[in-house]
Structure formats: structure tokens, C-alpha cells
Chains A and B, each alone.
Chain A
């Protein structure tokens, strides 16, 4: 009965590779987010989708491309991975017009 799930939980890859992270929520929410927690532990928003429409893009490099096939799923594809992309990526969701966001368990990405 997991509310917000992410796969994979851990991802170790080489510089230059392309990888994807998947997120699914079964809460019936219509807004989903990607956040990045860097080495300094700040949680920063990257993207937000509402009903499959991109509504927030926080000056993230265009190597990062989110995709929302339906309102329960938000995936993140990263091209040409760089060392600085190493971080924990969290997916979150909320019901529109409610402020509380619910987070997934995170995907720990390590780029070597």
C-alpha cells in the first residue's frame, strides 16, 4: 500500500551514461514533483507536473527531462550523467490546492 514509490532505490553508473528514475503514486494526487538533495543536504525543487502538464522547471540543465505518461507517474530521464549529478532524488505528490506534499523514499544516484 505504498503511497509514493520510486525505482530504483540505488543507482550507480558511469559518467556519460543515460539513466531513468521512475515514480508512481497511488494517492489519486494530480500534482507531482522531483526534488534533488545534494551533498549539502538542501532539498531543492527541480520540476512539477500537474495532470501531465509541466508547471515548474527550476532552471535545471536540459540533460534532465521529466516525463509524465499519466497523472500517477512522473519519470526523470538524465542524459550524459556528470559527477555533480550524484545526489538523492525524491519524488513527491500532492492534491491540487492542498499544500502538503508526500514524498517517496528517494533514489540514491552515484556517478563515478
Chain B
């Protein structure tokens, strides 16, 4: 039973345009959400996160939006750069001492020069 879903397996965008990566979750206990970026043969790298008390968090070219009522979050990358080409994982946790991350399957982003 997938509690975190990334329904689009891949996305291709032109350099300079906006990339929008979507993520849905089903567990209402989740209250913290993270995006990780992963290059081949490397470990996931933390990108940006958001707490459920916020609906937006921005860090440079990366913005994460959270819609709690829809149980949906999205990562916006603008402008997209070729170096952003990677697999992006959405993850969620229920805050606590024994928290664990539940990951989506990942989206492969390709940014065309």
C-alpha cells in the first residue's frame, strides 16, 4: 500500500522553463515532507522540506507547495537547468523521536539544453 505516490514516472522540460513535480500522500498522520534529489550511483541528497503548518517553502530556485486538504505537494524548479536532471523523491514522515521516512517511487526529470 503506497502511502506516498509520485504518479508520473518522468518529466522532460526545456532549460530555463519551470519544472513542476507532483506528489500525493494518503496518510493523514504525515506532518513533514521532504524532497530528495538523486543522481545515478549516488545516495539521495536532501533538497527542501516543508512542515504541515506551512503551505509554501522557498529556497533559491526551489519552492515546495503543500495542500493539506488535498494531501498533495509539489516541487517547483525555476528556472530549470541541465544539472537538475536527476531522479526526485518525495518523502513524508510523522514527526517524532521514532520517525521514519516513507518515500515515493521517484520522478526522473530531464532538462533539455
Contact = CB atoms under 8 A, between A and B. Distances in A.
Interface of A: 4, 33, 40-45, 48, 50, 55-56, 58, 90, 92, 96-97, 99-106, 108
A103 B44 contact: yes
Interface residues of B, number: 23
Contacts of B97: 50, 55, 96-97
A90 B44 contact: yes
A48 B98 contact: yes
A59 to B, nearest CB: 13
Interface of B: 32, 34, 36, 41-46, 49, 87, 89, 93, 95, 97-103, 105-106
Return the 5 tightest CB-CB contacts between A and B, nearest first: A103-B43, A43-B103, A99-B32, A105-B43, A103-B44
A48 B98 CA distance: 8
B108 to A, nearest CB: 10
A36 to B, nearest CB: 11
A78 to B, nearest CB: 19
A99 B103 contact: no
